[in-house]
Structure formats: C-alpha cells, structure tokens
Structure 1
Amino acid sequence: MGHDQAKRVFASAFEKGTLHHAWILAGPKGLGKAGFARQAAQFLLESDRHSPAPSNRLEIDAESQAARLLAAGSHPDFRLLQRGGKSDKEDKKARESGIESLEAHELKRNISIDQVRSLQSLFNTQASIASHRVVIIDAIDDLERGGANALLKNLEEPPLKTVFLLVSHTPERLLPTIRSRCQILRFEPLDDAQMREVLQQLAPDLDNPETEALIRAGKGAPGRALQYVDAGLAELEQLAMQILESGDPDNRIRNDLARKLSLKAATARYHAFLDLVPGLVADHVRSNRDSDRIRAIETWQEICDLAGMAVPKALDSQAVIFRLASMMGSLALRREPA
C-alpha cells in the first residue's frame, strides 16, 4: 500500500537499464519496506520480463512461476537473510509457521556471518530461470560485524545480474562503506487514508474507534499499528485522555492502569501504551494553553524518554505506567482554561 514514488524510481531505473546492484530501503519500522522488497524481487525474477509496464510501476503477476516459487521458499535465484530462531525448537516453529510466528525474544540477536557466506552458493552459478538473482536482507541493521564485512566484499565486487535489497530501519548506523556502495530509497509514512485502507483490509472486524486509535498509534506505519490489533487501543487512549483532562486527582485511573498493564498477559497492551502516550501528550500540549509551555514541553520530553527506555532497560512496568500517568496528570493540573 502506498510508496508509489519508491516503486516508480525502482521500475524506472530498471526500464532505463540503470538499475543499481544494491539498494538500501530506508525508513522507520513497520512502513512496508520488506513488502516492497518482496514485490521488487518478484518483479526482477519473473523470467519473461523484459521491461515494466508503461506506467513505471512494479507490475507483478500473482499467479506467475516466480510468485509460486517465492511463496514456497524455493526460487533458485532468490535468497532471504533474516534472524533465525534461538534454538532448534524456534527454528522448527519458523519452518512450519513462518518466521513471523516467532516473538522477538525467540529470535537470534543477529544475522550471522555464516548466513552471509551461504550466499556464495548462489553467486557461484549463473541465474537458473530468471534474468536476475535477488538477495533480500531483512534487516541489514541485524548483521553482526563480521557479516557486514563479508557482505561488503559482495557489494564491492557485485556478482553479475545480482540485486541486493537491504531493509534498514536505522540506515545512519550502517557502515559508511556499505552505505557508499548502495543507492538509498527512502520510505515515508502512509497517510491516514492509506492506513485506514490497510487496517480495513487486514483487520476488517475492528470497530471505528479502535481503527482510528490504531491509525494514531501507528504514525503512518501499518506494521506498527497491526501489532496492536488485539491490544484494545481505543480503551487505553480513552483512559490516557481522562488523565490528561482531569489530572486523575484520586489516582484511581493510574493505579488501575499500572495494575492491569503490568500483568504478563498484558505485555502487548503495555507496549501499545508506551507507543501511544507520547503522541497523545504532544497533541494535548499543542492544543491547550498552558501557564508554563516550556515546562509542559519538558514534561513531554521526559515522557518520551521514559517510554522509549522502559522496554530496552527492562524497567519495572508497574512503576513506569504509574510514573507516566503522574507526569500526564501534572500537565492537566497546570492547564489554563481557554
């Protein structure tokens, strides 16, 4: 969905014969970069392709041989590198249900150097049934240092008719030597209408308040919104707004939130709340007069910092929720009537 400019750039480069051998697909997580990479890969692997449609779009055939082989994970001219399961149990689950079925804690920390070296079997022969060979790395941010150096050798001396599609959520952290050998294709957030269409297609049972809450929480990234489909965002948003409006003087709402969201079964809702709060507070500060606007902005920054570090630093979830709600309540107490 969306990203028409990126599709036009890629298809136009192919049509003109100026297709670069390596592309960094850059942008925040959840925008659809991996989906674009799969579409671009199929575009290149359809064996009878000579030029794209006149519209300069990535036109693909859902019933083509390339589509069927990619879906089966057996296209001889294609490789996908991504983090695998931590153990044999997780690897088996990934093989049976797909890597997407694994939780973050079930995945290995990095894409290994051995995975990069395994690409040599692809490069040692000519393309089997397509005009190109395609490698997707999702995400190149996950490459261990040795793997990045091994990949660099392939980017410096690219195999003939091979295209690398490197998904990156933080391209600025990549090795400068890798960035310099790639063309960067940047992806922008989807607008609300596009987000709404994605959610209506993939989560048709959502009611309107929940859909709108997901759109706000997703911030233009449908993948980010979809991970919270079952989190009850509309309710969380309503409770957060009550704190911002009333200040929650008796601590009833914040105590209830801290208790419910700290349960192990509520991990997804806890993460959703951490994602949701900074945007709600920013909107609140912008739309309301405050006797101390500078202090309100400082409070918003403190909220962003705490919400951002809570999971990576494994902070106590109950304490985090209570502290966030207290800072939000302090904004309500300082707000002046319009």
Structure 2
Amino acid sequence: MSTVPDHPHPDQIAGAPHPRETRTLFGQPRAQDAFLEAYSTGRMHSGWLITGPQGVGKATLAWKIATFLLTEPPADAGLFGEAPPPTSLTVSPDNADARLVQSGAHPRLYVLRRVMNKTETALQQDITMAALCGHDDGPNTLKAFLHMRATEGGRRVIIIDCADEMNRTVANSILKELEEPPKNTTFILISHQPSGLLPTIRSRCRVLRCAPLGHDDMAAALHQAGIDVPNAESLATLSEGSVGEAVRLLHHDGLALYGDLVKLFGTLPDGDRQIALALANSCAGKGAEVRFAMTLDLMDRFLSRTARAGVSGPPTTQGAPHEALLLAKLSPTDRAARIWAELGQDLSARSRHGRAVNLDPAALILDMIFKIEATAKKAVKA
C-alpha cells in the first residue's frame, strides 16, 4: 500500500506538486497514445519502462497510468456493445479509486522508492531491501502486497521511482517478479538512465519514451504548478525542456546567475577580474552550497552550448540576453567547437574532483574561469 510519510518524498521536486497531484501531463502525447493503443488492443505488458531526461513528466505519466488502470471499468461495462476504446488517461477526480490514489492510500497501489535511513536523518542513497521489505515481513512489504488477493478482482500496480536507484539485490528481486508476474499486476518503472538497468529487466518491459518539452508546453506545465514566468524562452532553453530543472532554476535564481555568467564571458578573451572574483566569492562560505552547485552546472551548460554553436551555428533561443552573439564570437568554427568540447570535458572532471575533495569553492570557480579565458584566446583564432 502507498502511504504519505512525514518526510519529503524522494520522488518529488522541491517547490513543485507531487506527480500524483498533477492534473494534466503536457508534452508527452506519443507516450500516452502508445500506452492507450496497447491497452485498447489487448497487448498490455506486465512491465512498463518509462524513460527520458529528468523532470519531463515521467513520474506524472506513471501516476496517470496507475490511476487509469486502478479505475479500469468492469469487463461487462459495455452491455449494449463494446465500449469505445479510451482516448485519454484522464480520470474524473470524483472517482473513488482516483481519490484514494490522490490521498496516497490506495490498497492496490504500491510505490517503491528510497526510504529514510535508520536514524531518520536523511534518505538512503539507493532503494535497498529496507524499502522493499522493511525490517520484517509485515503487511506493508512488496511481498505481502503481491500475494494479497486483489480487491474485487481489480488490478494491482507497482510504481518504482526511480529504477536507477535500485541496488543489485532489489533489482534481482524485481526481475524475478517481472519474469513471473502475478495475475492482473502491472509494474511501472521510471528510469532516467535505462542503460544502467539490468538488461534482463529492460527486455521484460515495454518502453515508453518521454521527450523534453517545448516552450509552450513548458509554460503550460509551470502555470499548472502555479509558477508563471515572463522569460519562458530563457527558462525552457536553460532547462533543456525539463520542468523539474526549470523549477530548480527558478527557486535558486538560476536565470539571473546564468545572465551574470554571460556578462562575464562577454568580456572574453581578456576577461574582467573584478567580476570573476565577485562571482567566485559569492559561491564560498556557509549557506552558499546551492549557489556553488548551480554555478558549476551552469558553467557546464554554457560550455556545451558554446561547443554546439561552432557546429550548428548560434542558437535560435537564448538562455540570457546577447548569448547568441557571444557564442557566435567564441565558437565561430567546428575547430573551435572541438576546443570548447574538450575544455567542457576537462572542467567537468575537475568539478567532480573538486567537490569530492572539498576544494575551496572560490578557488575552484576562479580556476575554471581562468581556463575558459585561456581557451577563448585560442578558440577565436581557430
């Protein structure tokens, strides 16, 4: 049974509604239609693997499919002929089963995700046997859920969010269930990086791929979440079509920070040391951990966009004012693009190492800025 704990959900983006509370799924009509076509033609799989970048609606799709299946009409609903095939996953919020799903208390729905550690101080890094079985064989374990008698012959649904976080023991346990699934039981696995899953798990699931959202779908999804932004283009560009990443950018002032980076790099190839020092110092000290992480992420994104500009030309959408002109200046040729791509790989590795050994944030940021400055002098001559 799914329950609503006092602790934050590991499957919920901070500042956004939980996926089960999302009324409309934007930007994924192909994935929805593929599932409905399989359902309508009697080709339902017991395992479904929903893939795609983080934050594009995979969890929302999983909860919509689960709600749809748990409110499935009885087989004799079409007394005067076959009922027409469903064209939408939408279920009335007044439906009794839908209300149970919304409350997190549906008896035929089980959600497998990370749980708190034994000291209740933080979430575990992986989905472990503690999440699968608890500390006993009680009524809230997945084993007990799979072997209970389905209420009134209805379906049972298991959502795993996300499957990438299962440790090997849990993954093998899930594989056994996928190999011989109980009757009327559907597994819905969410994965950001399906290549990391056991090949045997992937082979036993039908894949539904979710794509990054376009500008209009992004704006609509954010509006539904109660978030309205005037610069939707910049947000959609920087978030690369991920609503989850868009929410993170908004909550941590990412758009303004990226604008500052573009202004700083606009002084290249010479650079402005005062601006660089101010940026580096803003990432140091107590309470600056989030800004430090965001700065590293956005620098990586800037380098990726710079490299792409040398191959395909300046971007048609901008993450900040004057960005397109800057990228055209810094990366005018495919040779320059290779130089920027190599730097991006080098700085990404340097960033991971710096964080792993707790290198001084200001020193790491300054070092990266100086390397970008040196590369700019080389790239503009390429």
Q: Same fold (TM over 0.5)?
A: yes
Question: Runs of 4 or more off by more than 6 Å in structure 1?
Answer: none
Moved more, 119-128 or 309-318: 309-318
Partner of 1:236: 257
Question: Contact between 1:213 and 1:233, CA under 8 Å: does it hold in 2?
Answer: no
* Alpha-carbon distance in structure 2 between the residues aligned to 1:53 and 1:307: 53
Q: For 2:288, what is the secondary structure of its paired residue?
A: helix
After TM superposition, the structure 1 stretch with the greater mean CA deviation from structure 2, 307-316 or 197-206, is: 307-316
Report matched runs for 1:192-207 at 5 Å.
192-204=215-227, 206=229
| CA contact 2:51–2:208 (8 Å) conserved in 1 | yes
Q: Distance in 2 between matches of 1:199 and 1:261?
A: 28
Q: What is aligned with 1:73?
A: 104
**Partner Cα separation in structure 2 for residue 180 and residue 221 of structure 1:** 27
The verdict on how the C-alpha distance between 1:204 and 1:184 changes in structure 2, with shifts beyond 3 A counting, is closer
Residues 40 and 58 in structure 1, CA contact (< 8 A), matched pair in contact too: yes
Deviation of the 1:53 alpha carbon? 6.7
Map 1:55-134; keep pairs closer than 5 Å: 56-90=87-121, 106-117=122-133, 118-129=141-152, 131-134=154-157
Question: What do the CA deviations read for 1:26-81 (whole angstroms, capped 9, x no partner)?
Answer: 11211111111111100000153669975632121222212221122211101001
Change (3 A) 1:264 1:183: farther
Count how many residue pairs are aligned between Structure 1 and Structure 2: 320
Structure 2 residue matching 1:228: 3-state secondary structure: helix
**Distance (Å, rounded) in 2 between the aligned partners of 1:66 and 1:130:** 14
Q: Which stretch of structure 1 is more off in the superposition, 211-220 or 61-70?
A: 211-220
1:258 maps to what in 2? 280
After superposition, the Cα gap between the structure-2 partners of 1:304 and 1:175, relative to the gap in structure 1 and judged at 3 Å, is: same
Choose from 28, 32, 39 the match for 1:3: 28
Partner of 2:324: none
1:219 maps onto 2:232 in alignment:
no
Structure 2 letter corresponding to 1:10: F
Instruction: Please give the secondary structure, in 2, of the residue aligned with 1:137.
Output: strand
Corresponding residue for residue 95 of structure 1: none
Q: 1:304 to 1:6 in 2, by over 3 A?
A: same
Q: Which residue of 40, 44, 59 maps to 1:19? A: 44
Distance 1:183 1:108, change over 3 A: same
Answering whether residue 347 of structure 2 is matched by residue 325 of structure 1, we say no
* 8 Å Cα contact 1:24/1:185 also seen in 2: yes
Query: Cα distance, 1:180 vs. partner?
Result: 1.3
Cα deviation per residue 1:272-329 (whole Å; 9 max; x = unaligned)?
Answer: 2233223333444513255775355333432355346635753533233223322333
- Give the 3 Å change call, closer, same or farther, for CA 120–282 of structure 1 in structure 2: closer
Question: Are the aligned partners of 1:80 and 1:136 in contact in 2 as well (CA < 8 Å)?
Answer: yes
Which of the residues 332, 344, 349 maps onto 1:303? 344
Distance 1:155 1:335, change over 3 A: closer
Q: 1:293 to 1:263 in 2, by over 3 A?
A: farther
The residue identity in structure 2 corresponding to 1:329 is E
| Residue 164 (structure 1) aligned with residue 187 (structure 2) | yes
Is the Cα contact below 8 Å between 2:339 and 2:375 reproduced in 1? no
Separation in 2 of the partners of 1:49 and 1:252? 70
Shift in CA distance, 130/233, structure 1 to aligned 2, threshold 3 Å: farther
- Residues 174-228 of structure 1 deviation map (CA, whole Å, 9 limit, x = unaligned): 111111111111111111221122223335354x24x444322211111111122
Alpha carbons 1:246, 1:332 under 8 Å: kept: no
Q: Per the alignment, do residues 157 and 55 of structure 1 end up closer, same or farther by CA in structure 2, a change over 3 Å counting? A: closer
Partner residue, 1:98: none
Identity, % of aligned pairs? 30
Counterpart amino acid of residue 83 in structure 1: R
| CA separation of 1:53 and 1:267: change in aligned 2, threshold 3 A | farther
- Using the TM superposition, name which of 214-223 and 115-124 deviates more: 115-124
CA distance in 2, matches of 1:14, 1:268: 44
Cα displacement (A) at 1:87: 4.1
Over the residues paired in the alignment, what is the CA RMSD in angstroms?
2.7
Work out which of the residue numbers 197, 205, 216 in structure 2 matches 1:174.
Answer: 197
Q: Verify the 8 A CA contact 1:243 1:329 in the aligned structure 2.
A: no
Specify the code of the residue in structure 2 equivalent to 1:235. A
Counterpart Cα distance in 2 of 1:110 and 1:160: 28
Unaligned runs of 5+ residues in structure 2 are 1-25, 78-82, 134-140, 315-327
Q: Is the 8 A contact 1:203 1:229 kept in 2?
A: no
